[in-house]
Structure 1
Amino acid sequence: MNFTDLRILKTQERLQNALLELLDTKELKEITVKEICEKAGISRNAFYQHYGYKEDLYDQMVARATEGIRDSLMPIIQDASAVREETIVSYAEHIVEGISEVRELIYVMLKGDDGKFLRQLTDLIFGQNLTNALSFFDMKDSEELRLYYEFQSAGMAAFIIKWILDEGLSEEKAAKLLAGILLQSPGKKPVIV
């Protein structure tokens, strides 16, 4: 990475952090580019070199959170026959650790959510879990399988939201609770790993 790339990344990080702080007290529609720039200590010109609108900055932040969530849902083992109770526990820890990396961002997005982010989160979890089941466990796609994963994904989304909004729940406890839920999956093999 060269010096220019590092400067670009640092500028974008400062702008994202500034918007994140502002979103803690205001809705996006109430925030101005000027406020973001003042909070970040960056000129408006620099802002517009990176983003056309404040919504572009917000969308980049949502994409970062989405990528973090998707990465956390990826299988941690390569062979379905290796799935054991301890791998499910490790998978739950993997999910919680991955989401922890973008927890503050998700928290702010949830605070001002009109339901759109919740739907995106549920759809993301559904898509990744279904993909995992079809490829990892070599399951056949069916309406029943999709309904099951819709149900499971809504539950996982609710769990993630409850954990993020309940600041008293530690990562360790969240991972244990999630592992317990995943271990209760019906059938001979777990539905996600």
Structure 2
Amino acid sequence: MKQDLRFKKTEKALQKAFLELLQKKDLTKISVKEICELAQVSRNAFYQHYETKDHLYNNLLQQILMAIEKACRPLVKDLTSITETENRLFLDNILLAVEQHRFAIFQLLSSQPAIFSAAFQNMLVSAIHHNSDQIGSFPDTSFVHIFSGGVVAFVCYWLLQTNFTLEEAQEKLFTVLGQLKVV
């Protein structure tokens, strides 16, 4: 148990150091040595957690996307019964999950915007399709891609170009996309 706690603490220290370095440097310019020095761990400890710094980046990305994916759970049993309230709650839940990982998402977006955006959109499309299968309702695939792309573009805009609070972002996104029916 104690070793598990140390393992988790080391992993968090490595992730924190990596994100701090992303504030100052391009991903390609960051070395494993720098990450280890800032995290105050050995290179051996780094390699017990990650194969490469790209593996660290991808691990962070996947952790964040899994948290956001949980926010995409179905709110209704049938798409035909969805109301404005469920539309709003669905969008609010996504942005709340983004807010909970705001610092890390900002760093990942700042360093590799195309990679983060593509992974985020693919996750949203997949989550919506999976959740639609669960409730037996199937939205138009084109709609799902357009909706997901809109959410991703809004998140990028919100985090990189505005000072919106969570509540302001939720209101703005709902105003822009809230009239669309979502899962």
Fold shared by both chains (TM-score > 0.5): yes
Conserved 8 A contact 1:133-1:191: no
Shift, 1:19, TM fit: 0.3
* Aligned: 1:168 with 2:167: no
Partner residue, 1:112: 111
What is the letter of the counterpart of residue 156 of structure 1? Answer: V
TM-aligned CA distance change 1:137 to 1:170, over 3 Å = farther
CA distance in 2, matches of 1:174, 1:10: 32
Aligned to 2:179: 184
Q: CA deviation at 1:13?
A: 0.1
1:82 positional shift: 6.2
Runs of 4+ in 1 over 4 A off after TM superposition: none
Q: For 2:90 and 2:157, how far apart are their aligned partners in 1?
A: 19
Kindly provide the amino acid, as one letter, of the partner of residue 71 in structure 1: K
Distance 2:14 2:101 in 1: 16
Is contact 1:34-1:44 (8 Å) kept? Answer: yes
Going by fraction, where is helix more abundant, 1 or 2? 2
Cα RMSD for the two superposed structures: 2.0
| TM-score normalized by the length of structure 1 | 0.84
Counting aligned pairs with the same residue, the percent is 30
SS in 1 for 2:25: coil
Identify the residue that residue 92 of structure 1 maps to in structure 2: 91
More off after superposition, 14-23 vs 159-168? 159-168
TM alignment of 1:113-152, pairs within 5 A = 113=112, 115-136=114-135, 138-139=137-138, 145-152=140-147
Q: Distance in 2 between matches of 1:120 and 1:59?
A: 10
Quick check: 2:84–2:179 contact (8 Å CA) kept in 1? no
Find the aligned partners of 1:94 and 1:161 in 2 and give their Cα distance.
17
Partner of 1:79: 77
| Aligned equivalents of 2:50, 2:98: Cα separation in 1 | 26
Q: CA deviation at 1:134?
A: 4.1
AA in 2 matched with 1:101: Q
The 8 Å contact of residues 92 and 176 in structure 1, kept in 2 or not, is answered as no
Q: Alpha-carbon deviation of 1:167?
A: 4.3
The two structures have a TM-score, normalised by structure 2, of 0.88
Unmatched segments (≥5 aa) in structure 1: none
> Number of paired residues?
182
Deviation at 1:79, TM superposition (A): 2.9
Q: Which residue of 1 aligns with 2:39?
A: 40
- Judge which range, 86-95 or 60-69, deviates more: 86-95
Q: Is the 8 A contact 2:90 2:182 kept in 1?
A: no
Is 1:155 the counterpart of 2:145? The answer is no
* 1:73 Cα offset (Å): 1.9
Q: Quick check: 1:70–1:128 contact (8 Å CA) kept in 2? A: yes
Report how far residue 174 of structure 1 moved: 0.9
